Structure 1
Amino acid sequence: MPSREIVEAFAKRLEEGDFVGAIEQFYLPNAATYENNAPPTVGRDQLIAKERGVLAATKEVKAIRLGPSLIEGDNVATRWRFSFTNAEGVTRTLDEIAWQTWQGDKLVEERFYYDPKQLGR
């Protein structure tokens, strides 16, 4: 079960824009993430590579946490608003719920729930 301090430290890394650093520090080597109902991305190295790809395709990414993270045992739920600005200066905003499963102070699974229409898909 993660402590409030660990969850807050993780959220702070995202709010500071250190997305890759957050994965490196807080995810287990065998962690998996799921985008809505898509197949998972498995393994910290694959998660880092995917995140670097997203960052390379955008000019700027901002993360704002909306309200507190809710912690119940090994589960954490957080509502986020991400803004992605592309090279042409177009910004798209994504409201998302992140549902996390932790083992101690490390993430083992994270599921992102959002409407993909928000990103123009």
Structure 2
Amino acid sequence: MPSNETLERFIAMVETNDHAKACEIFYTENSTMQENQATPRTGRDAHVAAEHAVMSRARSVSSQCVRPVFVTDDKVVIRWIFRFEWLDGSVTQMEELAYQRWEGERIAEETFFYDPAQRVPVRSNA
């Protein structure tokens, strides 16, 4: 079970959009990360690489934790809202739930639940 301090540090780092660094610091070496029912990615290095790949395609990112955060034993559920402005000018706004299993102070398993229709970029009117 993560301490409240660790959980708040994790949320704060994601909210500053340093997603790759959050993976480096807060995930176990052999952690898994799964998008809806897709095949899970395994390994912290794979998570970091995936975050770098997404961020390299974005002009700007906004990440917001919607409270409350639910914690029971080693399970944590966080509601996130993300807004990506892509290099081509399109925008993706997503709301998701992250269901996590922590081993001590690090995330060992994480599954994201969201409507996949949200992943379709929309042309910005700006």
**What is the TM-score of this pair, normalised by structure 1?**
0.96
Shift of residue 112, structure 1, vs aligned partner? 0.3
Q: Name the SS for the 2:68 alignment partner.
A: coil
Partner amino acid, structure 1, of 2:43: G
Corresponding pairs, count = 121
Shift of residue 7, structure 1, vs aligned partner? 0.8
Q: How far apart, in 2, do the equivalents of 1:47 and 1:92 lie?
A: 20
Q: Which residue of 1 aligns with 2:124?
A: none
| 1:9-88 to 2 correspondences below 5 Å | 9-88=9-88
Q: How far apart, in 1, do the equivalents of 2:83 and 2:111 lie?
A: 19
Contact 1:7/1:69 (8 A) holds in 2: no
Partner amino acid, structure 2, of 1:101: R
Which sections of structure 2, spanning at least 5 residues, go unmatched? 122-126
Q: How far apart, in 1, do the equivalents of 2:69 and 2:48 lie?
A: 23
**CA RMSD, Structure 1 to Structure 2 (Å):** 1.1
Q: How far apart, in 2, do the equivalents of 1:78 and 1:13 lie?
A: 14
Partner amino acid, structure 2, of 1:50: A
Q: Name the SS for the 1:78 alignment partner.
A: strand
Q: Which residue of 1 aligns with 2:92?
A: 92
- Listed one character per residue, the Cα deviations across residues 85-110 of structure 1 (whole Å, up to 9, x for unaligned) are 11132221000000000000000011
Moved more, 95-104 or 80-89: 80-89
Shift of residue 119, structure 1, vs aligned partner? 1.7
Higher strand share: 2
Moved more, 52-61 or 77-86: 52-61
Which sections of structure 1, spanning at least 5 residues, go unmatched? none
**What is the TM-score of this pair, normalised by structure 2?**
0.92
Q: Name the SS for the 2:67 alignment partner.
A: coil
Partner amino acid, structure 1, of 2:106: K
Q: How far apart, in 2, do the equivalents of 1:4 and 1:68 lie?
A: 13
Identity %: 36
